[in-house]
Amino acid sequence: MTGRENLWMRPDRPARGPRPAFSRARLTEVAIRIADAEGLDAISMRRLATEIGAGTMSLYRYVSSKDDVIELMIDAVVADYLPPDAVMTGDWRADLRGFAVGVRQTMLRHPWVAPLVGTRQQPSPNRVRMLDAALRMVDDLGMSFNEMLTVIGTVFAYVNGFVEAELAEAEALRRTGLDLMEWMTLQVPYLQSVVASGSYPMVARMLTEGGQDYVDVGDRFDFGLDRLLDGIAARLPHASG
Amino acid sequence: MTGRENLWMRPDRPARGPRPAFSRARLTEVAIRIADAEGLDAISMRRLATEIGAGTMSLYRYVSSKDDVIELMIDAVVADYLPPDAVMTGDWRADLRGFAVGVRQTMLRHPWVAPLVGTRQQPSPNRVRMLDAALRMVDDLGMSFNEMLTVIGTVFAYVNGFVEAELAEAEALRRTGLDLMEWMTLQVPYLQSVVASGSYPMVARMLTEGGQDYVDVGDRFDFGLDRLLDGIAARLPHASG
DNA sequence: TGAAACCACGTACGACGTACCCAGTTTCTA
DNA sequence: TAGAAACTGGGTACGTCGTACGTGGTTTCA
């Protein structure tokens, strides 16, 4: 891996030389396991290498940089945005909703992926696959192709933004190494001083009545998603589904 | 700055000792300037220190870690989510829309902030201020407090997700150090091979008709935002404004 | 007039990504 | 069948990072 070529356009097996000791698939699998358990910054080339049982620099035979490892990880996870048994009903709204729910569930299983995929739009096999599937869901609805792209992009923006926020607190705990109790102990005095100032009545209400009729995170996700789909449906050229 | 206390609860000026050579405000300002111009990874404690004209370790008198610097940067930028001359018309929909547009514009001016603020939900002065302002926009609409929180969270999730995606390509260029031409040269052959496979007809269409009736990014943002607000408006307990 | 509380900052440590190099292995070619 | 070509694994080393720690100077209070 000497640098410039595209990560996704390499032959599986080189023509000459000894057979490789491992594979990019193995590398990806190990990296995902570490990131799931300990977060993205637990991933270093040295750590990956020892976990695989190889020398650090050997990884660079399979990948031209750490960035490539990240790309491999993203692509692998994106593969199950749509589970293999997902069916397209032909009802665009149900299909798109199922897709969004699947994306969220996958992102919750791999908490490091949402921030990455939100900020990296490089094409990769599974991202291409998912984009194609999503576009097929809104085909034949009387929209222009760019309108279809806009709709898909809108839904995905919402899902990504929501899940990032959803994971933010857990990530803060991981980043600081604190447990929930310690973290609260740090934030509460400040919030109390905010409330005491009297300048932020709504935030004050949040701290007092916020816990009252608690709304489940999944329900909040569904609410926003359904409102978005409502709004889109109302603007469709002709009512289909 | 010895570690555990909350960043936002320190006295402005210590009681004893010589007067500080600079300030957290100065530190924040320099950090934001660097990040705006060269991206977030251009920020290192050494770089900040030399730019300020101080010793590297002196920064730790003002801040207990690099993470605190990041928090200061975020809070400073969040301050102009709502420009100082922004008016609350009393029309919840117009106000919320103006807020969302303001957030996007601020995020575009500071391309590093969207990914950070999406994944960090720690309270800070300006974040609290913005949250309070947003909640006031949807007050008196007959919703419970948690419903209000859900609505605000939904809009913000969309804005954040959209802007992250919007900035993704530019960020990829910065990350790799390539210019647009070089980057295209790298992606195009792969995309051509994808199209040639015949398995992804929609992506193929994207490459051929995608550029035809080009939709402005701002218009796409507005579209999603307006559909979301449509959907929310339709579910409001009673029609007010 | 100490002593306490603060300040600036040099040195040093462990971790990181990766450029470069060399020796060994497989396969194609003559 | 010899040897060149194309690959392999991986050790060493460089520059960068965040920051723990300590030393010595300055200001303010008791």
Residue A58 has pLDDT above 70, yes or no: yes
Q: What is the mean pLDDT of residues A30-45?
A: 97
Based on the fold, state whether residues B219 and B127 are members of the same structural domain: yes
B125 and B41 within one domain: no
pLDDT digits (tens, 9 = 90+) for B152-205: 999 999 999 999 999 999 988 988 888 898 888 889 999 999 999 999 999 999
Return d(Cα A119, Cα B114) in angstroms, integer.
Answer: 9
Interatomic separation, CA of residue B9 and C1' of nucleotide C10, rounded (Å): 30
Domain total of chain A: 3
At residue A178, the pLDDT reads 86
Report the C-alpha gap between B123 and B125 in whole angstroms. 7
* Rounded-to-integer distance, Cα B114 and Cα B108, Å: 9
Please tell me which of the candidates B125, B164, B213 has its beta carbon nearest to residue A144. B213
Q: Are residues B63 and B119 in the same domain?
A: no
Q: Residue A4's pLDDT is what?
A: 62
Same domain assignment for residues A126 and A241: yes
CATH number at residue A45: 1.10.10.60
Using an 8 Å Cβ cutoff, are B110 and B32 in contact?
yes
The angle, 0 to 180 degrees and rounded to 10, between the axes of the packed helices B145-176 and B92-109 is: 20
Domain assignment present for A143: yes
d(CA B20, CA B164): 38
Residues 62-81 of B with CB within 7 A of strand C: 62
Mean pLDDT within B78-102: 93
% residues pLDDT > 90 (chain A) = 76
B82, pLDDT greater than 90: yes
* DSSP string across B175-186: HHT--HHHHHHH
A238 in contact with nucleic chain D (CB within 7 A) = no
- The answer to the question of residue B12 being in a domain is no
Show the domain range for A113: 79-177+217-241
Gap from B71 CA to C8 C1', Å: 24
Decide: CB of A44 under 7 A of nucleic strand D: no
Cα dist from B163 to A69, A98, A226, whole Å: 25, 24, 21
Is strand D in 7 Å reach of the CB of B45?
Answer: yes
Quick check: B145 and A212 CB within 8 A? yes
Q: Are residues B140 and B171 part of one domain?
A: yes
Is A165 close to B118, i.e. CB distance below 8 A?
yes
What span, in angstroms and rounded, lies between the C-alpha atoms of A44 and A192? 40
- CB–CB contact B202 A136 (8 Å): yes
Instruction: Write down the pLDDT at residue B239.
Output: 54
- B240 pLDDT higher than 70: no
Give the nucleotide nearest to A57 (CA→C1'): D10
Interchain proximity A194–B128, CB inside 8 Å: yes
With respect to residue B86, please indicate whether it lies within any of the assigned structural domains: no
Query: Would you say residue A193 has pLDDT above 70?
Result: yes
Radius of gyration of chain A (CA): 22
Both A141 and A87 in one domain: the answer is: yes
Whether residue A126 is predicted with pLDDT greater than 80 in this model: the reply is yes
Together in a domain, B29 and B60: yes
- CA pair distance B128, A200, nearest whole angstrom: 8
Q: Give me the CA B23–C1' C19 separation in Å, rounded.
A: 40
Same-domain check for residues A30 and A146 = no
Tell me, yes or no, whether A146 and A224 share the same domain.
Answer: yes
The CATH number for B108's domain is 1.10.357.10
DSSP conformational letter for A40: G
DSSP, collapsed to helix, strand or coil, labels residue B33 as: helix
Question: Using an 8 Å Cβ cutoff, are B178 and A183 in contact?
Answer: no
User: How many Cα atoms occupy the beta-carbon half-sphere of A96 within 13 Å?
Assistant: 26
Q: Same domain, yes or no, for A237 and A134?
A: yes
Q: Are A43 and A160 in a shared domain?
A: no
